Amino acid sequence: TATPTEPEAVVKKYLEELKSSPADEDCIICMEKLSSPSGYSDTCESSTIRPEAVGRLTSCQHSFHMLCMLAMYSNGNKDGSLQCPSCKTIYGEKTGTQPKGRMEVSTLPQSLPGHKDCGTIQIVYHISRGIQGPEHPNPGMPYTARGFPRYCYLPDNEKGRKVLELLKVAWRRRLIFTVGTSNTTGESNTVVWNEIHHKTEMDSNLSGHGYPDPNYLDNVLAELAAQGVTEDCLGQ
Ligand code: NAD
Ligand code: ZN
Ligand code: ZN
């Protein structure tokens, strides 16, 4: 089934309009009462969604002004997905703003500290400098790409291979990097990691992004899930 991307269609797909609005609840998008009109009534116009309309997200059941949700969606990258601002549940397929590039995978015979019983998967990300698109913070301006190619490592065991497959999904959905300001260098308009941690050191741990780290695979699986990338996405 085709995912709608027309803003009003997306909002109506995932929010069920309530007959009567909950009296005592606030909308956490605009902070107004759900029983009064959307705080975005002046800035966000719609011919089919009334300022008083309140909708409930179909799965997590959190409620918001439908117009507030429309404003939130229109302010994002408009990929047909919605994320609940309250509990972060993702509706549809979240995509990011990662610039174009290449993801390369190979295996190495050496093992990683803490994973002596197997070899290593090496991922190499290639991204070059370019011009920001409409999805980026400063469209039309250049972005830099520092420290590429970036090398990352996973243990070549069952869980590591599963993480690899999910990272491939995240790469296709443009979720691994974004364009923004680097926490490490302070540089803006540059390509930076985006919420999914990678191990960039193989046999040292100078940056804190190396091995051993017994929790790493579980942590990165949780970070992938927070972006909507789970085992359900495999084999699709
Ligand atoms: P950032 O500093 O804005 O941080 C974003 C996320 O990436 C954070 O979660 C952070 O914990 C994580 N992160 C920071 N350093 C990391 C590292 N070395 N390995 C794995 N994850 C790391 O993001 P950024 O600017 O994309 O990342 C900074 C890192 O990128 C640097 O430490 C370096 O490894 C690399 N880099 C290299 C150069 C270079 O010229 N060689 C330049 C810039 C960045
Ligand atoms: Zn609201
Ligand atoms: Zn929710």
Q: Whose CA is nearest to atom 34 of ligand 1?
A: 147
Q: What is the pLDDT of residue 23?
A: 77
Q: Whose CA is nearest to atom 16 of ligand 1?
A: 209
Q: What is the number of the ligand 1 atom nearest to the C-alpha of 201?
A: 19
Provide the whole-model pTM. Answer: 0.89
> What pLDDT, in 10s, does the model give residues 93-128?
999 999 999 999 999 999 999 999 999 999 999 999
The alpha carbon of 99 and the centre of ligand 1 are apart by a number of angstroms equal to 16
Cβ-contact 70, 41 below 8 angstroms: no
Where in the chain does DSSP place strands (E)? 15-17, 54-57, 63-65, 82-83, 90-91, 101-108, 120-127, 130-131, 142-143, 150-155, 177-180, 190-193
1 pLDDT more than 60: no
The tokens of 8 are what? 């009003």
> Could you tell me which residues are beta bridge partners of residue 144?
190
Q: Is the CB of 184 under 6 A from ligand 1?
A: yes
Q: What is the pLDDT of residue 45?
A: 83
Q: Whose CA is nearest to atom 26 of ligand 1?
A: 192
Q: Is the CB of 223 under 6 A from ligand 1?
A: no
> Could you tell me which residues are beta bridge partners of residue 15?
57
Q: What is the pLDDT of residue 12?
A: 96
The burial of 142, by beta-carbon neighbours within 10 Å (0-12 exposed, 13-18 middle, 19 or more buried), is given as exposed
Weakest mean pLDDT among 14-23, 62-71, 219-228: 14-23
What torsion, rounded to 10 degrees, do the Cα atoms 109, 128, 188, 202 define? 10
Output b/e per residue, 183-209; b: 16+ Cβ within 10 A: eeeeeebbbbbbebebbbbbeeeeeeb
Q: What is the mean pLDDT of residues 42-70?
A: 94
Q: What is the mean pLDDT of residues 154-158?
A: 98
Q: Whose CA is nearest to atom 8 of ligand 1?
A: 193
5 pLDDT more than 80: no
CA 45 to chain centre: 27
Q: What is the pLDDT of residue 47?
A: 87
Closest CA relative to residue 50, chosen from 37, 60, 59: 37
What torsion, rounded to 10 degrees, do the Cα atoms 225, 228, 232, 236 define? -140
Q: Is the CB of 183 under 6 A from ligand 1?
A: yes
Q: Is the CB of 110 under 6 A from ligand 1?
A: no
Q: Residues with Cβ < 8 Å from 166, sequence gap 6 or more?
A: 221, 224, 229, 230, 231, 233, 234
Q: What is the pLDDT of residue 24?
A: 87
The alpha carbon of 75 and the centre of ligand 2 are apart by a number of angstroms equal to 14
Ligand nearest to the CA of 54: 2
The alpha carbon of 40 and the centre of ligand 2 are apart by a number of angstroms equal to 7
Surrounding residues of ion ligand 3, Cβ less than 5 A: 60, 62, 84, 86-87, 89
d(CA 172, CA 166) in angstroms, rounded, equals: 10
The alpha carbon of 2 and the centre of ligand 2 are apart by a number of angstroms equal to 28
